[in-house]
Amino acid sequence: MTLPSDAFRHVAARPHEPLRTFHPRRTVLGRDREDALERLWPRWGFSVHDDELGSAPLTPAGLLDTPTLFGRSAPLVLEIGSGMGETTAAMAAADPGRDYLAVEAHLPGIANLLLLVERAGLANVRVAHGDALDLVRRLLPADGLDAVHVFFPDPWPKARHHKRRIIQPSHVALLRSRLRVGGTLHCATDWLEYAESMRDVLDADPGLAGPVELVARPAHRPVTKFEQRGIDLGHEVHDLVVRRAR
């Protein structure tokens, strides 16, 4: 069995790969989270990386077999950058009719989400380790997602780093292609400049229904700890929810 901690070296960008939209980093896990990975990863986790995909069920076409992964056929929500997992666990608990696939590059968040899933007895959450865009490109079929959530991605505030932002035209086109018609792309950020950039990018995508507006947090999205820290510092949070039109 290969745990994500053994595979961490693969998360860093390799030559000729697309620019990463996150900062790969090493973090001490602690005993509880190490234990969570040892016990729970084989049940609910898999790696995005080529050489460890043996842990993920695949279709004959080489795509992720989500009915086998979750043990049922249900609408699928993709959580990109699930952080420490509190939001994913809370939304999945309140939404048992849909399955939640959380993709995270940082091991403490993966381990913490696994613990939350176990404690809440959730059957509709699975966790992937690695780059979410790699997973979307290689493993998810067109029109297969009911929703995509991108909550508080790295804003990459310096202008020279804007090319690393996840919400940019090519990435949005990719995500939209994996949504069913009528499926939703839901983004949130506490950086106004990034929110405005997100709005412009989403508005310009020809397959998404506009006009796109900055809105207050919908009631179904819990406030994250990260978000609350920003609010306490006076940051204004903006959500954007848009549907695939065609």
> Which amino acids are annotated catalytic?
154
Give SS3 for 190.
coil
3-state SS track over 1-38: CCCCCCCHHHHCCCCCCCCCCCCCCCCCCCHHHHHHHH
User: Within 13 A of 72's CA, how many CA atoms are on the CB side?
Assistant: 12
Element (H or E) spanning 175, and its range?
A: helix 169-178
CB 112 within 8 A of CB 85: yes
Enter the tokens of residue 73.
């056929």
CA–CA separation, 150 and 67 (whole Å): 23
